[in-house]
Amino acid sequence: TQLLEQSPQFLSIQEGENLTVYCNSSSVFSSLQWYRQEPGEGPVLLVTVVTGGEVKKLKRLTFQFGDARKDSSLHITAAQPGDTGLYLCAGALYNFNKFYFGSGTKLNVKP
Amino acid sequence: EPEVTQTPSHQVTQMGQEVILRCVPISNHLYFYWYRQILGQKVEFLVSFYNNEISEKSEIFDDQFSVERPDGSNFTLKIRSTKLEDSAMYFCASRSDRSTDTQYFGPGTRLTVL
């Protein structure tokens, strides 16, 4: 059973385009994180969202936590080839002793 | 900037052998985790550790697995009798304290069981 569903699984776009990645669940999370992972490396934290409805911006990346804290989205504006990578969402249900990861979205930005 | 380190970067072992994967969490961090990622699949939680005991473990973390913090700096994952399906990247992560949910991941150990 997938606690966190990410979509799309794969995304190939041209440089300059916008995109949105979704992370959905039927469970309520106390917090949700977004990571980026390069091949052969560990996940690198991009952002943590905690409050329902929260929006955080990191340069061209905008992260939103759903009002009910069951879902989240990552929006990238004017994607660049350097954005290419695997984007993962992960959530903690009630404490931070266990984190559930989504299956990831593999993004390819073509020059 | 402090970081989590893991050794070895790649471990090759024969089926049935024991392996120990080593992690040095960020110093002064209190919470430690092991995850695995089978090639092409998602990151899976194995176990969390705090105050010298396991806080939570997944169904994957059965009797063949154990964790230890033998001294003030290392955090180890032992797999007692490796199976082919244990081949994966194993990631260690650490978190500073109760007030934050931010985990910092190490670069991983690639375990190959032949």
pLDDT digits (tens, 9 = 90+) for A30-58: 889 999 998 888 899 999 998 999 999 99
A45-104 per-position pLDDT tens digit: 999 998 999 999 999 999 999 999 999 999 999 999 999 999 999 998 877 788 899 999
> Within an 8 Å CB–CB cutoff, is residue B42 touching chain A?
yes
Neighbours of A1 (CB within 10 A): 2
Q: Determine the Cα–Cα distance for residues B21 and B56; give it in Å rounded to an integer.
A: 19
Contact predicate A32/A90, CB 8 Å = yes
- Mutate: best of B53, B97, B101, B112, partner A, most A CBs <10 A: B101
Q: pLDDT at position A23, please?
A: 96
B5-64 per-position pLDDT tens digit: 999 999 999 999 999 999 999 988 999 999 999 988 899 999 999 999 999 999 999 999
Q: Report CB contact under 8 Å: B103, A45.
A: yes
Q: Give the nearest partner residue to B101 out of A48, A103, A104, using CB atoms.
A: A48
- Mutate: best of A1, A2, A99, partner B, most B CBs <10 A: A99
